[in-house]
Structure formats: structure tokens, C-alpha cells
Amino acid sequence: MKIAKVIGTVVATVKDPSIKNLKILMIQPLDEQFKSDGDPLAAIDTVQAGPEDIVYYTMARESTLALPDPMSPVDAAITGIVDEVYLEDKGIVDREKIFA
Amino acid sequence: MKIAKVIGTVVATVKDPSIKNLKILMIQPLDEQFKSDGDPLAAIDTVQAGPEDIVYYTMARESTLALPDPMSPVDAAITGIVDEVYLEDKGIVDREKIFA
Amino acid sequence: MKIAKVIGTVVATVKDPSIKNLKILMIQPLDEQFKSDGDPLAAIDTVQAGPEDIVYYTMARESTLALPDPMSPVDAAITGIVDEVYLEDKGIVDREKIFA
Amino acid sequence: MKIAKVIGTVVATVKDPSIKNLKILMIQPLDEQFKSDGDPLAAIDTVQAGPEDIVYYTMARESTLALPDPMSPVDAAITGIVDEVYLEDKGIVDREKIFA
Amino acid sequence: MKIAKVIGTVVATVKDPSIKNLKILMIQPLDEQFKSDGDPLAAIDTVQAGPEDIVYYTMARESTLALPDPMSPVDAAITGIVDEVYLEDKGIVDREKIFA
């Protein structure tokens, strides 16, 4: 899984019926020190993540396993909210330290 | 999922019977601010998208879950039409603002 | 799916029994204007493509859905022959125009 | 599979119930000579790997096959601990030689 | 599928029980002219490939379809041995020509 920050919301009126009531968030992938890394993408939210939350997300077929309907045509889902990362050589990395 | 703009159509007379009646569109992936990002690809249309529509698309095995026959040999499908993206730090991004 | 040109054949005497009688072709991925884009790869042919044909191919698990045995250990299959691509801003792109 | 070194731990209180009791580790991918190669990622641990262990990991849908619940929304799992790599042209590569 | 050369062996005492008796080889991906292309990776051997053999390999979920237990947590498997590649514009490419 990769770590990301919630940066926005995608508004789509025409979408597959299987995900009609689910929120699509824009997320910015982060590296292990919570710095931006790569391009933002759209992901289905399964954990009620809010703006600027640090989350981890799951890609491809396995992302659908977190959805009400596992046969949904979805390839990225937010599946957890990250409190902090502990790195052997740097100690605790968390939102407060980085974004303060 | 990634966001893209519909830029054309692929004409293929020889194709797998499971997708015989489905349209194949050329789409240009966009970043979260609707700027071109990466190479165009061919995707099956499942939402009646038209030229220059902003869409989001699903990759790999899960893309087939939006098709009449989920066992089709397809690895990219257009699964929604995007009205706008709301970014925490930039506000609303939509077609009109970008392409005007 | 991505578009590619057939550039050769892979001869393999030792291969998985499930694909014993299928042809493995070398294909060169192309961009939407039929220019080379990325590295050639080996793909199973399911549409009787010939040398220099423009084709589109399917990657990963879904590529096997076009094979006689959908449980074959294959991750790329040629699943259609492209006649032409129509781009909104450039008109028709076809073999003759490009390779003439 | 790719080879990686365990560099940390991800602390997530909100996560999918299917992986509630599993550890999420941060791993740094390595090349065949155990040098860092690419960005760290978060992976579920299935082999009780410890800090600085050299492991190999499995990506995407197949990573879930190592979990108690194979329907977990997970796309990277540590599935083995590497003792050493033997390269035809360089001989044995192991932790001691590299990190000493 | 991609073409690769066998360059070594991975020794792992702790591994998933489903692949306990299978060999893990280090392979160097090659381009269509048998030149090194990209980073080596670890792949399960299903065709008794030997050191310096030219092979093709299958990635992701479909790689497991070549294994005794198709539910193994494996994402790369060697599924064929390549004798030669015939390219329309270059003729036959084989080991002898390249490595001689």
C-alpha cells in the first residue's frame, strides 16, 4: 500500500451504479516521510477520511475488497487512516511534525 | 482511478466477440488540475462519453466489472464522467475554467 | 489497452502446456499517433495478427480471458486489429499515412 | 517478487477489519545487490519480519493469498525472509557483506 | 510477457508454505535484442531454467497459474525458455549471436 494525503473531492454525476453512494476523493501520494511523491489520483473512500487526513490506499482488483459491492469497477480505495510512521533511522513521522 | 479527456476513437474490425458492440475511445490522462499527464490509451466506454468529455477510468481486471460481459479481455474502461474536482488549496477545477 | 505494431516472433520450445499451440509475437507499443513508445514485449496472439499489423493488446490477468484456457500463465495478449484511430484534433491516423 | 529491507512500522488505528491484527511495515525496495532502489512502501507482514531484515514481497491481488483472509484489501505483503542472493557473476550477496 | 536472463538464485529459509519446494531465481529483464533493460527481480521457476538461460516470465496474479498451487502469494514466474526471437527488421536474435 502507499501513503497519501487527502487533497480534494471528485464530483461525478454519471458513475457506475455499484459506487453511486460512495465518495471519490483526490489523494496526493506521499513518501515515507510524508513528502509529496508522484501524481494525485482519484480513490474511493471506505474509512470516512476527511480533508488533509493522512491515509493509506490499496490499488487494483484488491481495492474493491473493501467496498460494499466487491464487483465494483474501482482500482483505488482508501483503506486506512495513518496516525504515524515509525522509521528505524528517523523515529516517529507524523502530521504535526511535517505540516507544522 | 485516473482522470482523462476523451480525444478520439479507435476503429477495429477484428476484435474479441465479448466487446463487439462496445466503443473503444482514445483518452488522454490528466492530472488533478486537468493538464495532460502521460500517454493516451485506448479504453472501453461504459458511460456514453463524448468527445472532449472529462472522465475517470479504471484499469486492469476491475475495469471489466463495468462491462456487459465481465470476462472480456479488457484492461481499461471509462466508468464515470467528471463534472468538477474540488481541491482543498485551489478550489473548484472544471472544464470551463481550464479550457476556456 | 495500448496500441502496438507486430515486429517479430518468439520461438520457445519449453513453454507452459496451456499455451503450447499459441503463437507468441514481439510487439512494439505505439502512441496514439502510431509512433514507437516504450519497450517491445512478448504477447500471445488471439486474432491471427501478421507482421507489421497494428494491434491493440490487453495486459495482466484479463489478457487470459481471450485464450482457449483462461487459466494460462499469460500477462499480455493481442486482442484486436486496429484499422485506424480518429483523433478530435488531428483527424484519421492510419498505417498508410504513418508508414508511407 | 522484489527484495526489500524493513525500515519501519505504520501505525494506523482506522483500518479494514480484515487486517485488524496484522502488522504494517515500511519497506525499502533493494536491487539484486541489496542497494536501495525506488520508493519505500507499506506492506503487510506475514512472516514475522523484524527491523532491518531483508525480505521479498509480493504485489497486487496475489499478495492477499498469504493472509488469514484472502479477501483483504491489501496490495503488498512480505512473504519471505531472504538469507542471501547468489549471482552468477558476483557470488554470494548477503546482509553482512553489504551492511558491514 | 517480458524476456529475461537467469542471473542468480535467492536463498530464503522463511517462505510461504505453498512455494516451499520451488526455486526462486534472480532474473535480469532484457529488451527484444537481448540487452539488459530495467532492474533484476526474483521469480519462481516453473520450467527448470538454468543459469544464463534466456526465459520469458509472467507477472502478477496470472504468474501463479503456472504453479502447483495457484493460490500461492507469487507475482512473477518463469513460464518458458526462449530459443530465439525473430524480428522483421533484424532477423534472428539468439543467445549465441549476442553473448558470443
Q: What is the CATH number of the domain that holds A74?
A: 2.40.50.220
**CA-based angle B96:C1:C7, to the nearest 5?**
130
Contacts of residue E45, Cβ cutoff 8 Å, sequence gap at least 6:
E22, E23, E24, E25, E77, E78
The whole-number pLDDT of residue E9 equals 93
pLDDT at C14: 82
The answer to which of D28-42, E8-22, E26-40 has the lowest mean pLDDT is E8-22
Residue pair C80/B12 in contact by the 8 Å Cβ criterion: yes
Residue of A nearest to B60 (CA): A60
C7: which 3 cell numbers?
515486429
Residue of E nearest to C58 (CA): E1
pLDDT at A100 over 60: no
Contact between residue A10 and residue B90 where contact means Cβ atoms under 8 Å apart? no
Complex ipTM above 0.85? Answer: no
Residue A94, pLDDT > 80, answer: yes
Inter-residue contact A98 to D28 (CB < 8 Å): no
Question: Is it the case that residue D18 has pLDDT exceeding 70?
Answer: yes
- Number of domains into which chain E is organized: 1
Give residue D38's pLDDT band: very low, low, confident or very high (50, 70, 90): confident
Mean pLDDT per 10-residue interval, chain B, length 100 residues: 92 81 91 88 91 87 67 81 90 74
* E60 contacts E75 by C-beta, under 8 angstroms: yes
Instruction: Measure the CA–CA gap between B95 and B48, rounded to whole angstroms.
Output: 18
Sort out which chain D residues have CB atoms less than 8 A from A80's CB and list them: 12, 14-16, 24
CA distance E64 to chain D (A): 8
| The three grid cell numbers given for residue E12, joined into one nine-digit string | 530464503
User: For residue A4, is pLDDT > 80?
Assistant: yes
CB C58 within 8 A of CB C90: no
Indicate the residue type of B43.
Answer: A
Cβ neighbours, 10 Å, residue A88? 14
User: Which residues touch A36 (CB under 8 Å, ≥6 apart)?
Assistant: A5, A28, A29, A30
Percent of chain D whose predicted confidence (pLDDT) is above 70? 85
pLDDT at site C15: 81
- Asked if the Cβ–Cβ distance from C13 to E84 is below 8 Å, we say no
CB burial string D63-93: b at 16+ within 10 A, e below: bbbbbeebebbbbbbbbbbbebbbbeeeeeb
Percentage of the residues of chain E whose pLDDT score is greater than 90: 36
Top-confidence residue, A5 or B74: A5
**pLDDT (mean) for A30-55:** 90
What is the span of the domain harbouring residue C37? 2-99
- Does the pLDDT value for residue A55 go beyond 90? yes
Q: Residue E65 above 70 pLDDT?
A: no
User: CA of C89: which chain B residue's CA is closest?
Assistant: B7
**CB-based contact B71 C84, cutoff 8 Å:** no
Stated pTM of the model: 0.75
- Is the pLDDT confidence value at A43 over 80? yes
Chain D residues within 8 angstroms (CB to CB) of chain A? 6-16, 18, 24, 26, 39-43, 51-52, 60-61, 63-64, 71-76
Q: Does pLDDT of C65 surpass 60?
A: yes
Give the mutation candidate from E14, E19, E53, E61 for the D interface (greatest D CB count, under 10 A).
E14
Query: For the segment A57-80, what is each residue's pLDDT rounded down to a tens digit?
Result: 987 656 666 667 766 777 788 988
Q: Which amino acid is at C82?
A: V
Task: Kindly tell me if the per-residue pLDDT of D99 is higher than 70.
Answer: no
Tell me which of B73 and A53 has the higher pLDDT: A53
**Residue D59: predicted pLDDT:** 79
Give dist(CA C52, CA E88) in Å, integer: 8
**pLDDT for position D60:** 62
Residue spans of alpha helices (H) in D1-100: 95-99
Q: Are strands E2-11 and B14-15 parallel, antiparallel or unpaired?
A: unpaired
CB contact (8 A) between residue D60 and residue A63: no
Q: Which residue of D has its CA nearest to A93?
A: D10
- Sorted by sequence, the CB contacts under 8 Å of residue D16 that are 6+ apart come out as A46, A47, A66, A79, A80, D72, D73
Pick the range with the lowest mean pLDDT from B76-85, C82-91, D90-99, E67-76.
Answer: E67-76
Stretch A24-43: mean pLDDT, rounded? Answer: 91
Residue B72 identity (one-letter amino acid)? S
Average pLDDT, chain A: 84
- Distance (Å, rounded) from C-alpha B71 to C-alpha B73? 7
Rounded distance between C-alpha atoms, residue E31 and residue E38, angstroms: 9
pLDDT at A52 over 80: yes
